[in-house]
């Protein structure tokens, strides 16, 4: 640990407002001084943690981090950490089995779906999906509502005839009556929540008897989902359910086993399903962390409870925008506003946006800058962001607006 260990008194001329414990080493309590100028205006968080509004990798529950800390040197009496154990051993087998069982229970995943723990991020699925679900020359339907679905469609063009069903305006879901679904598409791909634009589908798109494929990277496990409506759901873990390194793929049995001969073995759903996600060494630590998060979600009442908490948080933030007399603005139409990623701007004076982000950081609210491609601000309020954090942000927004008037 690189933090300097020193008594608060030795900090001399710097005005010491408080000293927070940020970590324990065997020899010493490591402390970080917080000056009055840097002090948050409201509640301090445990371990000197900040409210982290990052779009991903993102905040994880303190309870889960504490469990990981407790397990770190010796997982359940095994004498080793999860990072050190063989993926072929009974210890890790119990970890991955437990993670899958909890995820199946959370989402009520039907038995005719496989759960795969894959690598390469959600971006690898942009290629894996056409490679597994279509043959050369097939038509592939893509609904484009923002940056990520556009990227997915762009990658799919390497593998098939992409038909863009509809292109959104980055602030709404295009009216289904305008969609041009192809009669012979092998599947219809869409992004359930566009992380950058903050555009979210409120119900799965209706695509008749077509195979529906969803990128749920940034709203996975944020609400109950009827998995049976989908052929395939995929999500990178690093936003709502764990650290980067593992990508969850939930895929219906009949879509497995038809990959193109050129499919890289690591992207082949049949190989991954037959080998129970252990064709090679899986991302053991990331799977273990997701397992801890899934178990916590079950203890906390499952996805209905998660959704309720998320709706409450989103309302606090959208109300703060709506109640600002136009000082803040949401670029997204009310019907498509994301419960997870909330972009907002200061329309009358965009120069203030930089100042907003910098002052918020001084109040322990970080990563509020909008994505570089769209600018403005963005608060990502995933499952593990506490209500306190969102309320603190809403209070800060109010204060900032008053002070900037």
Ligand X SMILES: Cc1ncc(COP(=O)(O)O)c(C=O)c1O
* Contact residues for ligand X, defined by CB under 6 A: 56, 121-123, 148, 191, 195, 215, 217-218, 236
Active site (annotated) includes residue 171: no
Active site (annotated) includes residue 179: no
* Closest distance of CB 32 from ligand X, Å: 30
Phi, psi (degrees; rounded to nearest 5) at 31: -125, 155
How far is residue 31 from each of residues 1, 40, 51, 210, 363, measured CA to CA in Å? Answer: 11, 17, 19, 57, 19
Cα–Cα distance, 193 to 341 (Å, whole number): 8
49 preceded by a cis bond (ω within 30 of 0):
no
**Residue 115 vs 152, nearer CB to ligand X:** 152
CB 22 within 8 A of CB 31: yes
The label of the residue with tokens 């759960």 reads: 115
Q: Of 338, 311, 314, 310, give the one whose Cα is nearest residue 172.
A: 338
**Residue 340 vs 377, nearer CB to ligand X:** 340
* Closest distance of CB 218 from ligand X, Å: 4
* Closest distance of CB 123 from ligand X, Å: 3
* Closest distance of CB 25 from ligand X, Å: 33
One of 186, 210, 223, 239 is an active-site residue; which one?
A: 239
Active site (annotated) includes residue 148: yes
**Residue 195 vs 383, nearer CB to ligand X:** 195
Q: Of 170, 171, 216, 212, give the one whose Cα is nearest residue 192.
A: 216
**Residue 148 vs 159, nearer CB to ligand X:** 148
**Residue 148 vs 318, nearer CB to ligand X:** 148
One of 141, 215, 223, 285 is an active-site residue; which one?
A: 215
Find the residue with minimal CB distance to ligand X. 121
Beta bridge partners of 236: 247
**Residue 132 vs 364, nearer CB to ligand X:** 132
- Listed as own residue / partner, the contacts of 285-288 with beta carbons closer than 8 Å and 24 or more positions apart are 285/82, 285/83, 285/243, 285/245, 286/237, 286/242, 286/243, 286/244, 286/245, 286/246, 287/95, 287/96, 287/99, 287/117, 287/242, 287/246, 288/68, 288/82, 288/95, 288/99
**Residue 195 vs 263, nearer CB to ligand X:** 195
* Closest distance of CB 209 from ligand X, Å: 26
One of 75, 102, 141, 148 is an active-site residue; which one?
A: 148
Relative to beta strand 113-118, strand 247-252 is antiparallel
* Closest distance of CB 222 from ligand X, Å: 12
* Closest distance of CB 174 from ligand X, Å: 18
Catalytic residues: 148, 215, 239
């Amino acid at each position: 640990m690189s933090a300097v260990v020193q008594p608060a008194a030795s900090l001399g001329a710097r005005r010491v407002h408080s000293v927070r414990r940020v970590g324990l080493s065997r020899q010493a309590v490591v402390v970080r001084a917080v000056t009055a100028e840097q002090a948050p205006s409201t509640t301090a968080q445990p371990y000197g943690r900040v409210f982290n509004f990052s779009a991903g990798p993102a905040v994880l529950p303190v309870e889960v981090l504490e469990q990981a800390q407790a397990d770190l040197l010796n997982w359940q009496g095994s004498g080793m950490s999860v990072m050190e154990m063989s993926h072929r051993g009974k210890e890790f087998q119990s970890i991955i089995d437990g993670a899958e069982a909890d995820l199946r229970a959370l989402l009520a995943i039907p038995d005719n779906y496989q759960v795969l723990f894959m690598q390469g991020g959600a971006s690898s699925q942009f290629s894996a999906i056409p490679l597994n679900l279509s043959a050369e020359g097939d038509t592939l339907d893509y609904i484009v509502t923002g940056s990520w679905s556009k990227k997915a469609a762009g990658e799919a063009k390497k593998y098939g005839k992409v038909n863009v069903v509809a292109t959104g305006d980055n602030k709404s879901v295009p009216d289904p009556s305008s969609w041009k679904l192809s009669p012979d598409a092998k599947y219809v791909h869409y992004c359930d929540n566009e992380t950058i634009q903050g555009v979210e589908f409120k119900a799965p798109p209706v695509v008749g008897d077509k195979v529906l494929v969803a990128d749920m990277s940034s709203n996975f496990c944020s609400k109950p989902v009827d998995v049976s409506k989908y052929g395939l759901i995929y999500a990178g873990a690093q936003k709502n359910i764990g650290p980067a390194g593992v990508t969850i793929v939930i895929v219906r049995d009949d879509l497995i086993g038809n990959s193109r001969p050129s499919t890289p073995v690591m992207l082949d759903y049949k190989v991954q399903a037959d080998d129970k996600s252990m064709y090679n060494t899986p991302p053991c630590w990331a799977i273990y962390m997701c397992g801890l998060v899934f178990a916590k979600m079950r203890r906390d009442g499952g996805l209905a409870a998660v959704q309720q908490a998320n709706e409450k948080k989103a309302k606090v933030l959208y109300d703060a925008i709506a109640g600002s007399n136009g000082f803040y603005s949401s670029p997204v139409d009310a019907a498509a506003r994301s419960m997870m990623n909330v972009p907002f701007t200061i329309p009358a004076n965009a120069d203030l946006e930089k100042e907003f982000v910098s002052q918020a950081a001084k109040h322990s609210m970080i990563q509020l800058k909008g994505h570089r491609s769209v600018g403005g601000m963005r608060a990502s309020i995933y499952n593990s962001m506490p209500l306190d954090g969102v309320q603190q942000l809403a209070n800060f927004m109010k204060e900032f607006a008053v002070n900037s008037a």
